[in-house]
Amino acid sequence: MSKIIIPEEIRSEFRLDKEGKAFLSIRASARLLNIDDSGLVRHFQSAEKNPTNLTQKLIEKGFQVLTFSLDGIPDVAFAEIAEYYAMDAGKRCTQQAKMVYKAFAAIGVRTWIQSELHWQQPQVQHLTPSQALLQSVMMLVEIEHKLAIQDQRLMVIEAEKQQATEELTRLPLSSDLAPSIPLRGKINMIVRNKAQRDLISYNALWSKLYQQMYYRLSYDVKARCRHSGMKPLDQIEKDKMFDALYAIASEVLT
């Protein structure tokens, strides 16, 4: 294992998280295996639409290959890549990859990187009973403080709500009847509600309604629009077909 060391110029491209898990950049991985890093990039970029044998193997192992360029290559994934370029890459296999793979087969990638980066297992701090009790009390005090703040906020909201209600009752309200929604507005409301509820595009719903008008009434609004240059709803309104469209929308889209 002493034959493989992290070159100083790429040492910064290796990292360990707090649990000791190791990650390598694509460039560092390629350097260790003596391969072209652009080749690795092409492998990873193909993962979504046309995975190669390597990326398919990594995906089957549960790795999120598309994240490697940002988050780094996990040590366990690098071991799979080393095996591929040592044994399965055909003419792209390298002697360096074979040496790395054999060395890591004995000790493991993570252990090697931990050793190279001088990582030490974090010491677990054991609390005495009195320290544990004090910590619990402090946590309870913090929780109580947060609850008190929350209660104050709720009281403010409730007061604002009460004030708004009182102000609303003092407002002079109209004695006139509210105007009714015209048919055009009702149809638009039905289409909009259907689109938002079922995540369907507006165009698809309007096309469905126009198609229903054609089959039920032999009314081809699109053909009429091509002749008149009008928009579909304007054409339907001109032809006094809103009642029929409203009835169809009420049946088909609700």
For range 15-19, the mean pLDDT = 81
The residue whose two tokens read 């054409």 is 235
The answer to whether 63 touches 44, Cβ cutoff 8 Å, is no
Instruction: List, for residues 139-169, the tens digit of each pLDDT value.
Output: 777 777 778 888 888 888 888 888 888 887 7
pLDDT of residue 109: 61
For the entire predicted model, the pTM comes to: 0.43
Res 117 pLDDT > 80: no
For range 108-117, the mean pLDDT = 69
Alpha helices for the chain (secondary structure H): 26-33, 37-45, 53-60, 68-71, 75-83, 95-107, 109-116, 129-170, 183-198, 202-217, 221-228, 232-238, 242-252
Res 1 pLDDT > 50: no
Three-state SS at 23: strand
d(CA 117, CA 64): 25
In the chain, % of residues over pLDDT 90? 24
The residue whose two tokens read 């295996």 is 33
| Nearest alpha carbon to residue 207 among 220, 193, 224, 189 | 220
Give one DSSP letter per residue of 185-213, joined into a string.
HHHHHHHHHHHHHHT--HHHHHHHHHHHH
For range 80-91, the mean pLDDT = 89
Burial of 215 (0-12, 13-18, 19+ CB in 10 A): exposed
For range 44-53, the mean pLDDT = 84
**20 phi and psi angles, rounded to 5 deg:** 90, 5
pLDDT of residue 14: 86
